[in-house]
């Protein structure tokens, strides 16, 4: 422990958020502050892997993603005791449950700087009692925080319209995004024709096939029901198209319609890869990202695909409509609109030259606005100002 450095606790509900969504950031910040990662243990020793990869100390704090009042209270109590002992200068939380647990415990422990990053609001899609509960929990979290960082400007507007926190507390760092994008890592030039052919062959994709790709959780909130229906309808008229679905199902938290799962199983042109640690090879053999999500904070997938020079079809929601400009580097459609998604996907099939231009423009936008090191420097500057 370096006594000359002020101590920062970075908290997420599950360690995957620290290892993947904030990859590299803790290591960078630890050059200037003593950084401690706090999260659940996770699968396959994720917390230990995080400590090794980021070069920071970690603390196990078991939390659940669901609403579990008794377990949540236990987590708050345990974290409060840890904070009283460790006395960090800053507690910075990400993800909803870690935000609530982290901000309440940090306020009770009188931590001077209590920061929470908002990377999406589940209340946007909630209704009735569930929405009221989520609004209450968010207001409580932001009340306990000293600063709240929505990771997109659209998210900031939603928070202000819902009156979730005082305007003076809410701030977007840099131009949005929680971690930016490493454009040297997400670079289409890293993949040659031989590598791409090898992957296509393994997935039974022909050289002249047109490939749509989706990356993310295969859940209702990501628009998978609409995407599969639109693709299946399109496939009836065009047989040289493929849809790659990269990600896992969450059948307990947000299941797909049974009709959707049946279509996925029945249509041989829909390819499931499951979860992968490296999505770049799949982007390299694709023509268009189709990302019809209902709600986002600032979508990493759209940044990744754009950095890989893909045109993107996205819904008109915050984050997505900040990265993508309609008819410039992609297409923006209404959410939950299967027909608009179908028409946009159809229009890209005869538009290959234009798609290439759009993809090049996408990468340029990422380079100019969301380069990872610039986002890290902005976050570091925020810490230093505190």
C-alpha separations of 108 from 78, 103, 186 in Å = 12, 9, 42
For residues 300 and 377, membership in a common domain is answered with no
Q: Are residues 320 and 361 in the same domain?
A: yes
In-domain check, residue 263: yes
Nearest to 307 by CA among 174, 194, 120, 179: 179
Q: Would you state the pLDDT for residue 223?
A: 97
Q: What is the pLDDT of residue 352?
A: 76
Q: Within this chain, do residues 144 and 274 fall inside the same structural domain, yes or no?
A: no
Same domain, 175 and 236: no
Give Dmax (Cα) for the chain: 67
Tell whether 152 and 297 lie within a shared domain.
no
Contact present, 121 and 141 (Cβ < 8 Å)? no
Distances (CA, A) of 47 to 102, 119, 158: 17, 21, 33
126 within some domain: yes
Domain shared by 101 and 146, yes or no: yes
Q: Are residues 129 and 67 in the same domain?
A: yes
Residues 305 and 207 placed together within one structural domain of the fold: yes
pLDDT value of position 121? 85
Q: What parts of the chain have a pLDDT lower than 70?
A: 1-3
For residue 3, the model assigns a pLDDT of 61
List of residues 6+ apart from 374 with CB closer than 8 A: 174, 180
Q: Which residues pair with 35 in a beta bridge?
A: 8
pLDDT at 2: 56
- Asked whether residue 140 falls in the same domain as residue 113, the answer is yes
- Angle between the N-to-C axes of helices 258-266 and 224-235, in degrees from 0 to 180, rounded to the nearest 10: 40
Q: Within a domain: residue 57?
A: yes
CA 11 – CA 66 distance, rounded (Å): 17
DSSP state of 6: P
Number of separate domains in the chain: 2
Is 376 contained in some domain? yes
Instruction: Please report the pLDDT score of residue 66 as a whole number.
Output: 80
Residue 1 within a domain: no
pTM: 0.87
Distance (Å, rounded) from C-alpha 15 to C-alpha 22? 10
User: Does residue 266 sit in the same domain as residue 341?
Assistant: yes
Beta carbons of 68 and 35 less than 8 angstroms apart:
no
Decide the pairing of beta strands 241-246 and 113-118. unpaired
Query: Same domain for 63 and 98?
Result: yes
Domain limits for position 363: 188-369
Can you give the CATH number for the domain in which 325 is found? 3.40.50.2000
Q: Which residue has the tokens 């819904």?
A: 315
**32 belongs to a structural domain:** yes
In this structure, the answer to whether residues 351 and 377 fall within a common structural domain is: no
Ordered strands of the 34-39 beta sheet: 57-60, 34-39, 7-11, 90-94, 113-118, 147-150
pLDDT 10s digits, 237-255: 999 999 999 999 998 878 9
Residue 68 lies in a domain: yes
Question: Is there a domain that residue 2 lies in?
Answer: no
- Residues 90, 114: Cα–Cα separation, whole Å: 6
């Amino acid at each position: 422990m370096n006594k000359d450095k002020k101590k920062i606790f970075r908290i997420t509900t599950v360690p995957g958020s620290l290892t993947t969504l904030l990859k590299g950031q803790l290591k960078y910040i630890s050059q200037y502050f003593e950084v401690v990662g706090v999260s659940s243990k996770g699968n396959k020793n994720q917390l230990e892997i995080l400590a090794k990869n980021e070069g920071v100390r970690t603390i196990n704090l078991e939390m659940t993603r669901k609403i579990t009042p008794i377990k949540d209270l236990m987590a708050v109590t345990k974290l409060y005791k840890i904070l009283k002992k460790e006395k960090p200068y800053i507690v910075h939380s990400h993800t909803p449950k870690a935000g609530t647990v982290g901000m309440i415990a940090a306020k009770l422990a009188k931590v001077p700087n209590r920061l929470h990053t908002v990377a999406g609001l589940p209340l946007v899609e909630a209704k009735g009692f569930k929405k009221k509960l989520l609004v209450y929990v968010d207001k409580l979290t932001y009340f306990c925080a000293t600063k709240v960082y929505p990771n997109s400007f659209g998210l900031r507007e939603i928070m202000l319209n819902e009156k979730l926190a005082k305007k003076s507390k809410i701030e977007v760092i840099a131009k949005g995004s929680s971690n930016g994008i490493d454009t040297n890592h997400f670079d289409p030039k890293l993949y040659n024709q031989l590598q791409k052919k090898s992957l296509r062959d393994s997935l039974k994709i022909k050289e002249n096939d047109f490939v749509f790709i989706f990356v993310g959780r295969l859940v209702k909130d990501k628009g998978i029901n609409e995407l599969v229906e639109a693709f299946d309808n399109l496939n009836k008229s065009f047989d040289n198209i493929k849809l790659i679905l990269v990600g896992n199902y969450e059948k307990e938290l947000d299941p797909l319609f049974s009709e959707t799962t049946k279509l996925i199983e029945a249509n041989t042109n829909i390819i499931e890869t499951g979860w992968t640690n490296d999505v770049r090879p799949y982007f390299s053999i694709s023509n268009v990202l189709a990302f019809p999500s209902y709600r986002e904070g600032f979508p990493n997938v759209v940044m990744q695909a754009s950095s890989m020079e893909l045109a993107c079809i996205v819904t008109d929601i915050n984050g997505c409509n900040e990265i993508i400009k309609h008819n410039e580097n992609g297409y923006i459609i209404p959410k939950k609109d299967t027909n608009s998604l179908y028409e946009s996907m159809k229009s890209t099939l005869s538009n290959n030259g234009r798609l290439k231009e759009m993809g090049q423009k996408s990468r340029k936008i990422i380079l100019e606005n969301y380069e990872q090191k610039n986002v890290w420097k902005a976050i570091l500057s925020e810490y230093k100002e505190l």
